[in-house]
C-alpha cells in the first residue's frame, strides 16, 4: 500500500482526478490523506466533497478539516454570511446536503498517519506536544460532531486569545485550537502569539514573527508535519524543521501536489483548465 498526502483541493475536482491518474491511485491498494480545504473558490466544490467522502466511506481516504470546510458548515447553519467568491451553492442546494455536511463535521482536525507523522491543515502550535495537540483537537471535534455544533460554530470565529497561555476557559481554548489547526501561518518570535492576518512568504515574515514551524519549540513535538493552507510558502519541503507544506496553489493556477510520506517523493499536476483563478 502507498499512502499519498494531498494538498488543498478547494473545489478543483478536475485537478484531483488528474493527480489520481498521475500517481496511479488504486482504491483497493492505496490510501489518500487530504490536508483540508476540500471546498470553496474552485468550480466543483460539490464534486470534491462527494469524491472524498466516497473514497473515505470505501476505506481508502481520510481528511482533516480546513478553514474553508469550517466556513461551509457555518454558512450552511446560517451563522456566517457567504463571501462574494464562495463556490458553495451546489452543496447548499443538494438534496442530500445534510448528509454531506454531517459527514464533513465528523472529520478530525489532526491525524497521525504513522507513529510520528502528523497531518493538520495549518500546522501544530510550537507550545504543544502531541498529546496536547490531540487532546485539544478531540475537544473541538466533539463539539462539531455532536448536538452542540451550531452553538460551537456561533462562537468559533475570532482572533483571541492569541497565545496558548491566555487560554483560561473552554471557549478560549477551543477558538485557539481552531485557529491553530486551520488558520495559523506566523507566530510572534518571543511568545508564539498567533498573527492570523499575515499571509505572505515564509521568507519575509512580519517584523518580530517567524513561520510557526521555525519558532523555538517549548515542548518540541519531534514529528514530521504535513500541512496545507499556505500557498505562498515558497517551498514544499522544509526538512530542517521536519515539515512539508503541500498547498501549491492549485486554485491560483498553480499545481496540485501529493507526497508519499514513506519516501517523501512528490507528484503534482498543473491546475486543470477551468479550475484555477487569477491571484488576488
Q: What confidence score (pLDDT) does residue 279 get? A: 62
Residues 231-268 have pLDDT tens digits of 999 899 999 999 999 999 999 999 999 999 999 999 99
Q: What confidence score (pLDDT) does residue 113 get? A: 86
Q: Name the pLDDT band for 277 (thresholds 50, 70, 90).
A: confident
Residues 51-110 have pLDDT tens digits of 999 999 999 999 999 999 999 999 999 999 999 999 999 999 999 999 999 999 999 999
Q: What confidence score (pLDDT) does residue 115 get? A: 77
Residues 137-196 have pLDDT tens digits of 999 999 999 999 999 999 999 999 999 999 999 999 999 999 999 999 999 999 999 999
The torsion angle over the Cα atoms of residues 146, 147, 148 and 151, rounded to 10 degrees, is 130
Average confidence (pLDDT) over 15-40: 97
Q: What is the pTM of this model?
A: 0.96
Rg (CA), the chain: 17
Confidence check: pLDDT of 219 > 60: no
Proportion of the chain above pLDDT 90, given as a percent: 91
Q: CB-hemisphere CA count at 13 Å for 97?
A: 14
Q: What are the grid coordinates assigned to 90, written together?
A: 451546489
Q: What is the 3-state secondary structure (H, E, C) of the chain?
A: CCEEEECCCCCCHHHHHHHHHHCCCCCCCCEEEECCCCCCCCCCHHHHHHHHHHHHHCCCEEECCCHHHHHHHHHHCCCCCCCCCCCCHHHHHCCCHHHHHHHHHCCCCEEEEECCEEEECCCCCCCCCHHHHHHHHHHHHHHHHCCCHHHHHHHHCCCCCCCHHHCCCHHHHHHHHHHHHHCCCEEECCCCCEECCCCCCCCCCCCCEEEHHHCCCCCCCCCEEEECCCCCCCCCEECCCCEEECCCEHHHCCEEEEEECCCCEEEEEECCCCCCCCCC
Confidence check: pLDDT of 280 > 60: no
Q: What confidence score (pLDDT) does residue 114 get? A: 80
Amino acid at each position: 500500500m502507498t499512502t499519498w498526502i494531498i494538498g488543498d483541493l478547494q473545489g478543483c475536482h478536475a485537478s484531483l482526478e488528474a493527480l489520481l491518474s498521475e500517481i496511479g491511485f488504486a482504491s483497493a491498494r492505496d490510501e489518500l490523506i487530504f490536508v483540508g480545504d476540500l471546498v470553496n473558490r474552485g468550480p466543483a466544490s460539490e464534486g470534491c466533497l462527494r469524491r472524498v467522502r466516497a473514497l473515505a466511506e470505501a476505506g481508502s481516504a481520510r481528511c482533516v478539516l480546513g478553514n474553508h470546510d469550517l466556513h461551509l458548515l457555518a454558512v450552511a447553519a446560517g451563522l456566517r454570511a457567504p463571501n462574494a467568491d464562495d463556490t458553495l451553492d451546489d452543496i447548499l442546494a443538494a438534496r442530500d446536503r445534510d448528509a454531506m455536511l454531517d459527514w464533513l463535521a465528523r472529520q478530525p482536525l489532526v491525524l497521525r498517519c504513522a507513529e510520528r507523522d502528523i497531518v493538520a491543515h495549518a500546522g501544530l502550535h510550537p507550545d504543544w506536544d502531541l498529546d496536547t495537540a490531540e487532546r485539544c483537537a478531540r475537544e473541538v471535534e466533539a463539539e462539531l460532531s455532536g448536538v452542540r455544533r451550531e452553538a460551537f460554530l456561533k462562537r468559533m470565529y475570532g482572533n483571541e486569545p492569541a497565545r496558548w497561555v491566555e487560554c483560561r476557559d473552554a471557549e478560549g481554548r477551543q477558538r485557539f485550537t481552531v485557529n491553530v489547526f486551520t488558520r495559523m501561518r506566523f507566530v510572534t518570535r518571543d511568545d508564539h502569539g498567533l498573527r492570523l492576518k499575515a499571509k505572505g512568504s515564509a521568507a519575509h515574515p512580519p517584523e518580530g514573527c517567524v513561520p510557526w514551524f521555525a519558532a523555538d519549540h517549548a515542548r518540541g513535538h519531534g514529528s514530521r508535519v504535513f500541512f496545507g493552507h499556505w500557498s505562498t510558502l515558497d517551498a514544499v519541503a522544509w526538512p530542517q524543521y521536519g515539515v512539508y507544506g503541500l498547498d501549491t496553489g492549485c486554485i491560483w493556477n498553480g499545481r496540485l501536489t501529493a507526497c508519499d510520506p514513506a519516501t517523501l517523493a512528490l507528484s503534482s499536476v498543473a491546475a486543470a483548465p477551468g479550475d484555477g483563478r487569477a491571484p488576488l
